[in-house]
Amino acid sequence: MTRRAVFLDRDGVLNRAIVRNGKPYPPRSLAEVDILDGVSEAVASLQRAGFLTVVVTNQPDVARGTTPRDLVDTINNRLKAELRLDAVLTCFHDNAENCDCRKPKAGLLLHARDAYGLDLASSFMIGDRWRDIEAGINAGCRTAFIDYHYDEPRPPRQADFVCGSLKEAAIWILAQTPP
């Protein structure tokens, strides 16, 4: 039997993104990591319904030399432990490296599919930026866009659902999927 997953972007979905001049950025320290309200409950409800919870996150500041990889790993490990996430997959590359794992490409989702035996057509991608939605669509998942009205491009293709939080996205997913 194939499994299904909910893919989650990290910053802005699980933890508060640091917004400067209308644009979201990752936390610059472990002290800045603030898990958003309702996230623990949303993740737990998705897991109870049989979904794997897999974080797929771009962290290009590592390649740019502005964030140490060990900080990204520490933040990821904290979120994984506190939220009891099934996996955290990270792209550390910048755009110029043209890797397959940087969203909007679907490489991280395809890797998870192969590693965990996932059915992507029965899976979902939740994100707060256009790259997240495009990655989900490119992988064949249904998508939920958490719209914080950042000062940046919206997804070029329409998400299946637009909402204001992970909690709202989880309710939508659970309402339309069989147990």
Where is 74: in which H helix or E strand?
A: helix 69-83
Based on the residue annotation, tell me whether 11 is a catalytic residue of this protein: yes
In this structure, are residues 49 and 42 in contact, taking their beta carbons and an 8 Å threshold?
no
HSE, side-chain direction, 13 A CA sphere, residue 14: 30
In this structure, are residues 20 and 54 in contact, taking their beta carbons and an 8 Å threshold?
no
Based on the residue annotation, tell me whether 119 is a catalytic residue of this protein: no
List 9, 61, 86, 128, catalytic entry: 9
Give the max Cα distance, the chain.
47
Return the active site residues.
9, 11
